Amino acid sequence: MKTEIINSIKNNYKGIILVLFAAFFSSLAQLLWKFSSTYNHLYIFIFLGFVVYGLTTIITIVAYKFGNLSVLHPFFSFSFIFALLFSHFFLNEIINIYGILGIIFIITGSILLGIGDF
């Protein structure tokens, strides 16, 4: 079983890394859209959000070339973690125990699903 897990990681690691980048950029795009609603509808944030989200789409499509969808897609849930961190650092929102537990569950679930390619 240990070798199957290692083989799964070896077969999908490029895709996993790319999907994590896509999750990061997806959350960044949403932060930019939040800025547009917070700072009196500054259209530059809306435009930048769409550009970054377009980049997310391209990265995701490329990532799917380097792994199985059933392994890679769960790692996109890391966008929730990035959104939580962005909201804390840029919007001064508070991370409570439920947010921390959510992060733990997301990471655990993504890893369990991500190694399930054997």
Q: What are phi and psi of 41, to 5 degrees?
A: 55, 50
Residues of the chain predicted below pLDDT 50: none
CA distance to 23, 84, 94, 95, per residue, from 89 (Å): 17, 9, 9, 10
- Residue 116: its pLDDT value, please? 67
The reported pLDDT for the residue numbered 68 is 87
Q: What is the pTM of this model?
A: 0.88
| One-letter amino acid for residue 103 of the chain | I
At 2 the pLDDT is: 72
